[in-house]
Chain A
Amino acid sequence: MRKILATFGCAAILASLAGCGAPKTDAQGFVIDPDFEKNLQQKLLDAKPGSVIDIPAGKYALSRSLSLTANGVTVKGAGMDKTILSFARATSGAEGMLVTGDDFTIQDLAFEDSKGDALKINGTKNAVMRRVRAEWTGGPKTSNGAYGLYPVQVTNVLIEGTVVKGASDAGIYVGQSSNIIVRNNRAEDNVAGIEIENSSNADVYGNTTTGNTGGILVFNMPNLPVPGSKTRVYKNTVTANNHANFGAKGSAVSSVPPGSGVIVNSNDEVEIFDNDLKDNKTGNVLISSYYSTGFDTKNGIAAAYDPFPENIYVTGNRFSGGGDDPGGRFEPLKALGGGRLPDVLWDGFTNPKLKSPGICVQNGTAKLLNIDGPGKSAKARIDTTVNCAPATRLKEIVLPAAMTKDSATS
């Protein structure tokens, strides 16, 4: 494999030379290197399959989006707290970095304060994001960019060991993709911590989501060519995702009630098991249809769209707290759960053509509250008919071996 050595400033010069080691920085801590951005974009333009682009430690101010179209490229930093690409001073470009090349790996660096999405990967196969941080440093704000790590229409996705903070929509957003592993990431202070949307065959495990409006979302949106299904959410820690919703109105996540642990909306065949779900003030697990989002219109939704969640299995999770402060119209329903909403909430919308929606909860003493959305909660009740299990369990996701091989930083 050909390795391109970075020659940013001092990086490739032997450390014995005077002035190397710590690059000169300005008052805000940005590396003073007028050619950095041009050199980096030039490397991205010239990259070929097998190219490794190393970006040395330092906080760099970029003025516009970075763009990569070549296949087979690896972009590496010196660590997510050491190599920082900051877009705080950017003047153009919809994202920090846009990638349309297959077999892409990015690791050990940070994107900060992008005006739009931090990293978008569109229409490729085999995308790896490892130990990347995407953060808006001013804390949660509606004016922050929408998505942190955003693969869309990608086949084979691995997102691991990343940190996403402050996204005004979703920190990690896997859209319209297939064969996906999202593991061991930390999502904090986003509207949605992790969102799997119109995607199929995803394993989401080992993640920690806290301080978001909603921790982990498995959604299906209308008007898209690909419906999603078959997601497993397991072994995650989903704690106190109680942040006020700061998403722009009209966006899908703007309907997420603050205090939502795991939400399944309009998606099918989802397993939620072996998670620690704690102190999510509206509900630890929410299962809902598109009718509960407030976006449904009689003529704006494709006829083929299935708005109902079906075959959802909640089992073996550890619940504690939560459901104690749902606010709004759910507040009166607390009485049904003995002073707090039960651990699993379901809006109760079902496809009249189906015998059973397959909403199943086998989780110790955890109860499901059927909110009776169609009847505006007139018949809201603890539903005891959901003691069921899917006939077959979803299989583990397997990615190409080359994707899971971690070449740690040298």
Chain B
Amino acid sequence: MLVALLIGACSTAPRAVTFHADDNPAKLSDWGLFMLADGRIAPRAGLVTYELNAPLFSDYAQKWRTIWMPKGNAAKYDADQWFDFPVGTIVTKTFYYSTPASAAVPQTSGEVLKVTPASYQNGVSGLDLRHVRLIETRLLVKRAAGWVALPYVWNAAGSDATLERTGADMPLTLVDGARRDAFTYTVPNQNQCAGCHAQDYRTRATNPIGLKARHLNRDFPGEGGEINQLRRLAALGYLTGVPGQGAPRNGDWHDDTAGSAAEARSYLDINCSHCHNQQGAARTSGLWLDAKTVDPRVLGMCKPPVAAGRGTGDRPFDIVPGQPDRSILPYRMASTDPGAMMPELGRNLAHKEGLELVIRYIKTLKGACDADDGTKLASR
């Protein structure tokens, strides 16, 4: 495929990364983050591509993540929370799908392929767009007043993306072998970005979700070879205070050696805990699924739902140990009904592999939800 328009050749588009301190440019190209040429999208100098141990599921979209900081500025390491980033930081996440070989114009293909993460392009030198449909590029921009989330949606030519603050919906069909699932891909509106990224209701401040030690602590190719990403960010001057050892690490749930409980907890952490934590939007549910929570009850064991409504799926408790079919958690993960599904945003399809992982995890849990009808109490 030939991209007709070369963004770099446009007279108005900057040729280097350009931080906008106040305005929200209408075009992604105004940020000067990417070069489009010869059927590739490539990162401009200073962008570091990174990957997470366990990523958030978004309707099987593939993701290419980058981070950029103004020269001479660095983020401060934190063991638990998102790092403290300098003003001027730009984080990008480009959502894209692989398209069938038969698609003459991949960028307008309604059919998109389910591919395994093992076959994703790593993005270090950009993406080969020959069989790719670019969907959206979300920016998180650190301004003096805090992080701002900006969703850009790619045009039909694949030449640029336009700021769509109110989001967008795209009908697509996911092709998985002989199976085809029609779905509506949903680009969130700007407030919905905050709906996940505001992980503490007291400040309501938007912050990165993936840029935490436990998600980044892994090897990944790039500058300096296939090395630990925390080390790479430190070597590049993007991160200070990385400990010599002992940084927390979430399990890679595609790594079958980790054991299903650790993998499942890692999966629940990245997919649920931005809301389901002590200060998150779902603090009101009493179900907290962040990596640090250890109390079995708070993790859902035998816990009655609070305000699930029909999201219970007629099941009694968030988790019934050993009995996924009686547990609410997998029911809501499997549902595609907007009134019952979890997460509430960011997916329209069920994540078959993630669901299987959580079902395996529940099967390994021991104990019973013994009813207590109070009859041990004496009558008066």
The residues of A with any CB-CB pair to B shorter than 8 Å are 37-38, 41-42, 44-45, 63-65, 67-69, 90-94, 98, 100, 114-117, 122-123, 142-147, 150, 152-153, 168-169, 173, 175-176, 197, 221-225, 247-252, 289-292, 294-302, 307, 348-350, 352, 372-376, 378-379
Contact = CB atoms under 8 A, between A and B. Distances in A.
Contacts of B195: 67, 98
Interface string B273-297: 0000000010110100000000011
B295 to A, nearest CB: 9
Contact of B338 (A93, A290, A301): A93
Given A122-B201, A297-B317, A299-B297, A90 B308 contact: no
B339 interface: yes
Q: 9 nearest interchain CB pairs? A: A146-B309, A291-B374, A300-B302, A250-B312, A116-B339, A94-B344, A67-B191, A115-B339, A223-B286
Given A90-B338, A115-B338, A145-B309, A45 B165 contact: yes
A252 B284 CA distance: 15
B167 interface: yes
B186 A248 contact: no
Contact of A298 (B169, B194, B204, B372): B372
Interface residues of B, number: 61
Given A91-B186, A169-B310, A294-B371, 14 more contacts: A92-B338, A94-B338, A94-B339, A94-B344, A115-B337, A222-B286, A225-B286, A248-B312, A250-B312, A251-B305, A291-B374, A299-B369, A349-B377, A374-B378
A100 B201 contact: yes
A146 B308 CA distance: 8
Interface string B297-321: 1100111111111111111110000
Nearest to B206: A69
Nearest to A91: B184
Nearest to B348: A92
Given A94-B344, A147-B309, A222 B339 contact: no
A348 B296 contact: no
Dominant SS among interface residues on chain A: loop
A42 B338 contact: no
B373 interface: yes
B309 A117 contact: yes
Contact of B371 (A92, A146, A222, A296): A296
A68 B184 CA distance: 23
A371 to B, nearest CB: 10
Contacts of B370: 297-299
Nearest to A249: B314
Contacts of A247: 309-310
Contacts of A221: 304, 306
B337 A92 contact: no
Contacts of A376: 375
Contacts of A90: 338
Contacts of B339: 94, 114-116, 145-146
A252 B297 contact: no
A92 B348 CA distance: 8
A116 B194 CA distance: 20
Most A CB within 10 A of own CB, among B192, B328, B344, B377:
B377
B166 interface: yes
Contacts of B367: 299
A168 B296 contact: no
B373 A248 contact: no
Given A122-B281, A145-B339, A295 B316 contact: yes
B303 A223 contact: yes
Nearest to A167: B309
Nearest to A146: B309
